[in-house]
Amino acid sequence: MSKLFLVPTPIGNLKDMTCRAVEVLGTVDLILAEDTRQASKLLKRYEIKTPLQSHHMFNEHKTIESVCTKILSGKTIALISDAGTPGISDPGFMLVRKCIEKGIPVETLPGPTALIPALVNSGLPCDRFCFEGFLPPKKGRNKKLTALEEERRTMVFYESPYRLVKTLDEMADHFGHERSASVSRELSKLFEENLRGSLSFLSEHFRKNPPKGEIVIVVAGNSK
């Protein structure tokens, strides 16, 4: 039966691609990719010749109907993002929801995602945690941080390297300058870095050492 596959891709090291992910991408009729240029590098590495089609946050709402039509006509389609699991701070949610509405089978493969290794590596409690993704860049940012001030679970955020220091400073103002946290960047890559300490320490460090790459911030919950 035709279906939609959600296939995680490596967050850095291409060797993290699973055998099953390679098999699925090599046998489906079409691969939807957040960035076809980025996807082409991965497919070339594993000698996958399946056709690619662009599917990103700017065109997702326009293309989901045609994608569903293709699946209902008998085609099997896989969705990948630039890195990690589709739908986790990446395109995918709208398509999955529409497929479910239309009775189209959806299968998600287990695989890479940046939040779990960063959380476990932080040394902070990970038996209970909340994933907050990216904070709003402008409107709603302060309101969101205020709402999290009493959160007792460990909190996990994604952030751009260009906003990291600003975000750490704002978190220090809302959660306390001595609140324990960690910053992980370039996970699974050659220059992976995991730095732990207070929010004020982390802010000062990255102010002096501007970061590069994908960022995950893990912050201890309110213990008071």
**CATH code for the domain in which residue 89 is found:** 3.40.1010.10
- 160-177 pLDDT tens trace: 999 999 999 999 999 999
| Mean of pLDDT values over 11-30 | 95
Confidence of residue 224 (pLDDT cuts 50, 70, 90): confident
My answer on whether 85 and 131 are in the same domain is: no
Residue 24 pLDDT > 80, yes or no?
Answer: yes
| Mean of pLDDT values over 174-196 | 96
Expressed as residue numbers, the domain containing 157 is 115-219
Residue 1 pLDDT > 80, yes or no?
Answer: no
My answer on whether 188 and 100 are in the same domain is: no
List the alpha helices (DSSP H) in 60-163: 60-72, 93-101, 115-121, 141-147
CA distances from 39 to 49, 119, 193, 207 (A): 11, 27, 25, 33
In a domain, 224, yes or no: no
- 38-88 pLDDT tens trace: 999 999 999 999 999 999 878 878 889 999 999 999 999 999 999 999 988
My answer on whether 129 and 205 are in the same domain is: yes
My answer on whether 123 and 195 are in the same domain is: yes
My answer on whether 20 and 102 are in the same domain is: yes
Q: Which residues pair with 9 in a beta bridge?
A: 84
DSSP-based three-state secondary structure for 37: helix
My answer on whether 156 and 91 are in the same domain is: no
What integer pLDDT is reported at residue 58 of this predicted model? 80
In a domain, 126, yes or no: yes
In a domain, 23, yes or no: yes
My answer on whether 148 and 211 are in the same domain is: yes
In a domain, 190, yes or no: yes
My answer on whether 122 and 94 are in the same domain is: no
Question: Which among 108, 135, 158 is the end of a domain?
Answer: 108
Count how many domains the chain has: 2
My answer on whether 125 and 99 are in the same domain is: no
Strand duo 77-80 + 30-33: pairing: parallel
Question: Which among 59, 81, 108 is the end of a domain?
Answer: 108
My answer on whether 74 and 41 are in the same domain is: yes
In a domain, 55, yes or no: yes
My answer on whether 94 and 169 are in the same domain is: no
